[in-house]
Amino acid sequence: MRNIFILLFLLFIIPAASQTQRFIYELQLKMDSTENEYQKFNMILDINSKEVKFYGRNLLIADSLNKKFGNMDNKHVDMSGQIVKRKMNSFDNENFINIKFGYYSFKTTDPMNWTISDETKIVQGYKLQKATTIFGGRNWTAWFSKDIPFNEGPFKFRGLPGLIFEIQDSNNNFIYHLIKSQKLPAFISTDDFLESNFGTKAIPVTEKQKKKLLVEFYNDPFAFERTNFSKTNTNLNININGKEIRTLDDLNSQTKNMQEVIRKYNNPVEIDKAIRY
Which CATH fold would you assign to the domain 2-203?
outer membrane lipoprotein receptor (LolB), chain A (2.50.20)
How far is C-alpha 149 from the geometric centre of its chain's CA atoms? Answer: 23
DSSP 51: E
Q: Residue 31: its pLDDT value, please?
A: 96
Q: Residue 234: its pLDDT value, please?
A: 53
Distances in Å between the Cα of 136 and the Cα atoms of 53, 139, 156, 233 are 19, 8, 10, 48
Q: What is the mean pLDDT of each run of 10 residues along the chain (277 residues)?
A: 46 60 98 95 96 97 93 91 97 96 97 98 94 98 96 98 98 97 91 96 97 97 82 66 85 95 97 96
In terms of pTM, does the model score above 0.75? Answer: yes
Q: How far apart are the first and last CA of the chain?
A: 43
Q: Residue 2: its pLDDT value, please?
A: 55
Residue 73, Cβ density class (10 Å: 0-12 exposed, 13-18 middle, ≥19 buried): exposed
For the chain, the structural domain boundaries read 2-203, 206-273
The H or E element spanning position 24 is strand 20-29
- Give the Cβ contact number of residue 18 at 10 Å: 11
**CB crowding 127-158: b at 16 or more within 10 Å, else e:** ebbbbebebbebebebbbbebbebebbbbbbb
Task: Give the span between the Cα atoms of 71 and 194, in whole angstroms.
Answer: 17
